[in-house]
Amino acid sequence: MSGADILVHALIRHGVRVVFAYPGGASMPIHQALTRVQDRLRTILPRHEQGGGFMAHGYSRTTGQASVCVSTSGPGATNFVTCIADAKMDSIPVIFITGQVSTTVLGNDAFQETPMVEICRGITKHHYLLTRTEDITRVVKEAFHIATTGRPGPVLIDICKDVQIRQIVPDWDPPMDLPGYRPMRRARREELEPVIAAIRACKKPFIYAGGGVTHSNAAAELKTFAELIGAPVGLTVHGLGNFPADHYLCLHMLGMHGTVYSNYAINEADLLLALGVRFDDRVTGKLSEFAKHGKIVHIDIDKSEIHKNKFAHVPVHGDLKLALTDLIAMLQEERNADLIAGGRYPDWWRQIDYWRETEPLKFVEPSNGAIIPQYAIRRLWELLRDRHQLDHTIITTGVGQHQMWAAQFFHFNKPRKWITSGGLGTMGFGLPSALGAKVAFPDHLVIDIDGDGSFLMNIQELATAYAEKIPIKVLLLNNQHLGMVVQWEDRFFASNRAHTYLGAGEDHPPYPDFVTIAEGFGIPARSISAKADLDAALLEMIDSPGSFVLNVQVPHQEHVLPMIPSGMTVKDMIKA
């Protein structure tokens, strides 16, 4: 078999059912091989390699499985770089396969040659340059193992063109060659005993839960653990959905744009149970002031994250699901019966409830009948809730104000229903990731809540939605500005506008005309600007049989609040 056929069949043997692939000279043999397995492996053609990369993100983030995307060499491969960096930051298992020039001209600056391994060395979990056809099956086997075990992450396979063409008899089950890679670890009981002791000693516990809960599939264990000890739960932007938003113990999102009550609680806690988190600066603000009043327990599968940003008094290196399972069993032992008695922290909960009552998330609705983004998102959530559709709805977003408002006002009770770019904060993420999510879950309603700036960055993927018959919805909150940058200009630069206006002039109609653009791609669309029209338009979008773009004209003066300015503390929180 040719190397390209071996590669494709290796993917099938690893359970791959769809690839997102854009062809070119150095990857043509792979695409020819893909045509020979169309009954077993679906190939989706994006309209830009970055679009294909983020479709793979949407597939992986919703399923937890490794996804696959393919590009050619040179500019095709470098168009993956942002997707790879995003996957590394958010711990997403994606296999990026890039064509490379033939081994005979490798290193000679041949046409469309780029040193992808060198370019991506710092943004991959692992990477390969394939120069031997005999290595394909081993490398694919290792790539899936590395991408999906321990802390997940992206793996790059850069495969030379002559390696794809050469024919050999393949070994389908070669031994892996990964000396020293031991990704799974179960924390020992003696490592968990100090956690139990810390719970027994505390009076104001707080659970700080992040994306690691998602990656270890530990949402059920987190809920049981929190209920047993009766502790409040605050979630990072990637933790949303891992603890039910409608649960009494849930204090929703924490950090820069988190709830006031969640940030107050984490600031006052005497025990911080940090589960699957990395103490990101968007959560901590000024590190020296963050959670300085309490003892910190940090449980994570990635040992390098422990003590990296914040010293952990009780460090626990291990798989989070297994650690919580063991902690739950220990709490249920007779000697710890006192730890699961109800009402252990009455004073703490009185304080939290006071904060929740006096400092809720809120916004002021304009008197002129305009639609503000917060209201539009809340109404979308309310309509889906009232129609009992939330359990089968996936929300993706671009990056900016709309992303934070979606995190605040659209509530999630289950994991993997909220798909967003967190660590890298990549604009243009929402639309293609929605396509990938819809391919993974064709029976779900998939809605991209987007801003006009982000939407424009990968708007060409509307063509993929139409041509590949992938019906997604876009709620476009169009304020004609780069809203989050405008907010910072207003707050810290005396409202001096520095190239953040995306329109065509004050006297010009809203620009561009997204309805005409969408219809040009074959996608039905509607534009509204009056609050009275919102509910009917949202229902039209939700119930449309195919893809639909709802362009909602919103004012640009709204700010995402509360806000803890970068590098500052809870005491510096801006509430109005």
3-state secondary structure (DSSP) of residue 544: coil
The catalytic site residues sit at 49, 111-112, 161, 484
Query: Encoding tokens for residue 354?
Result: 């006071």
DSSP 251-274: EEE-STTS-HHHHHHHHH-SEEEE
Place of tokens 């773009």: 549
| DSSP 8-state code for residue 530 | B
- Cis before 194 (ω within 30): no
The answer to whether 550 and 525 have CB atoms below 8 angstroms apart is: yes
CB 18 within 8 A of CB 69: no
Task: Please report where in the chains the tokens 């809960």 appear, as a residue.
Answer: 213
Q: Please give the structure tokens belonging to residue 301.
A: 């599968």
Q: Report how far residue 463's alpha carbon sits from residue 469's, in angstroms, rounded to the nearest whole number.
A: 10
DSSP percent split of the chain into helix, strand, coil, nearest 5: 45, 15, 40
User: 139, 130 in Cβ contact below 8 A?
Assistant: yes
Q: For 80, list phi and psi in degrees, rounded to 5.
A: -85, -15
3-class DSSP assignment, residue 456: helix
Q: Three-class SS of residue 38?
A: coil
| Dist CA 69 CA 48 (whole Å) | 12
Q: Which residues neighbour 233 within 8 Å (Cβ) at sequence distance 6 or greater?
A: 207, 209, 222, 226, 243, 247, 249, 250, 251
159: left (phi over 0), alpha (psi -120 to 50) or beta: beta
**Kind of pairing, strands 445-451 and 18-21?**
unpaired
H/E stretch holding 95 reads strand 94-100
Nearest residue to 323 via CA among 241, 239, 218: 218
Query: What would the two tokens of residue 529 be?
Result: 């600007």
321: Cβ contacts below 8 Å, ≥ 6 apart: 216, 217, 218, 221
514 is written with which tokens?
Answer: 């997204």
Question: CA–CA separation, 482 vs 514, rounded Å?
Answer: 16
